[in-house]
C-alpha cells in the first residue's frame, strides 16, 4: 500500500455487514468483507466486532504470525482517533508479534504435565494389575 487512507472511527463503524465489513486493529483499518467466509473462527466472530476496534478481541485469541500476515493484506488505512472514540485496553504492545506465542507456552507445559501424569498413572495401574495376577 503506497499511500494510506485515513479513517475516523465513525467511518469504520458504518461498515458492519457481511458484504461490507471493516475492523480496526491497532489503529489500522481493515476491509475484511472478502475474508468473512474464510475466517476459521466463523463469520459470527467477525460480525460481532465489525465496525469496531477489535484489537483486544484479536489479541485475546492469540492469532498466529500467519494470521497477522493474512490480516496485513486487508489493510486499507489508518484510524484517526477523535476525543470520545473507544480506546482498546493496552493488553499487549502494538508491534510485538514476538509476544503472541507467550500465552500458549504455559498451556503447552501444563498439557505436557497432564499427559505425563496420566502416563505415569497408567503405568502404575498396569504394574499393579500384572503383579496381582501373578499372585493368583
Is 87 inside any structural domain?
no
Is 9 inside any structural domain?
yes
| Three cell numbers written together for 87 | 480506546
For the chain, the maximum distance between any two Cα atoms, rounded to a whole number of angstroms, is 83
Is 93 inside any structural domain?
no
pTM comes to 0.63
- C-beta separation of 31 from 21 below 8 A: yes
Considering 67-81, 87-101, 112-126, the range whose residues carry the highest mean pLDDT is 67-81
pLDDT digit string (tens) for 40-79? Answer: 989 999 999 999 999 999 998 889 999 999 999 999 999 9
Q: How many domains does the chain have?
A: 2
Host domain of residue 31: 2-80
pLDDT at 19 over 90: yes
Considering 18-27, 87-96, 124-133, the range whose residues carry the highest mean pLDDT is 18-27
Is 120 inside any structural domain?
yes
- C-beta separation of 46 from 39 below 8 A: yes
CATH code of the domain in which 34 resides: 3.10.120.10
Residues 121, 75 within the same domain = no
- Provide the pLDDT confidence category of residue 8 given band limits of 50, 70 and 90: very high
Residues 105, 56 within the same domain = no
Q: Which residues lie across from 8 on neighbouring strands? A: 80
Amino acid at each position: 500500500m503506497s499511500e494510506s487512507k485515513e479513517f475516523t472511527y465513525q467511518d469504520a463503524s458504518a461498515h458492519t455487514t457481511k458484504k461490507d465489513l471493516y475492523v480496526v486493529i491497532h489503529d489500522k483499518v481493515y476491509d475484511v468483507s472478502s475474508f468473512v467466509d474464510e475466517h476459521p473462527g466463523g463469520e459470527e466472530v467477525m460480525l460481532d466486532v465489525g465496525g469496531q476496534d477489535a484489537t483486544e478481541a484479536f489479541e485475546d485469541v492469540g492469532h498466529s504470525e500467519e494470521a497477522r500476515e493474512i490480516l496485513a493484506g486487508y489493510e486499507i488505512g489508518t484510524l484517526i482517533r477523535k476525543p470520545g472514540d473507544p480506546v482498546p485496553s493496552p493488553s499487549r504492545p502494538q508491534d510485538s508479534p514476538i509476544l503472541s506465542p507467550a500465552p500458549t507456552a504455559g498451556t503447552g507445559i501444563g498439557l505436557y504435565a497432564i499427559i505425563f501424569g496420566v502416563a505415569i498413572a497408567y503405568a502404575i495401574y498396569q504394574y499393579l494389575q500384572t503383579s496381582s495376577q501373578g499372585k493368583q
